Amino acid sequence: MDVNRKVLKAISYICGTLLIIGTALFFYGYFGSGSAEVTGIGIGTVMGASFIFIMGIFLVATEESIQEKKNGKRQLL
């Protein structure tokens, strides 16, 4: 359980940082310089941060359900 919290905290820090960087790049490219390349990189960074976050949540949820199944503490929703 403690490992899952550490993984979630690490994922949230990484994805939050990538989200801020991607948003800044998008706004700079779209409003600041008008460069389509920088705008595209910003959009890609935001999408990558979202993908990493979703995959991290899936990893933690899967690991927790496997651990509960091994311990015999399976709960129905």
Instruction: Provide block-wise average pLDDT over 10 residues at a time, the chain (77 residues).
Output: 86 95 94 87 95 94 85 66
Number of alpha carbons in the 13 Å side-chain half-sphere of residue 25 = 18
pLDDT score of 47: 96
pLDDT score of 26: 94
CA distance 16 to 14: 6
Number of alpha carbons in the 13 Å side-chain half-sphere of residue 52 = 19
CA 23 to chain centre: 14
* Length of the chain (residues): 77
**What pTM does this model have?**
0.79
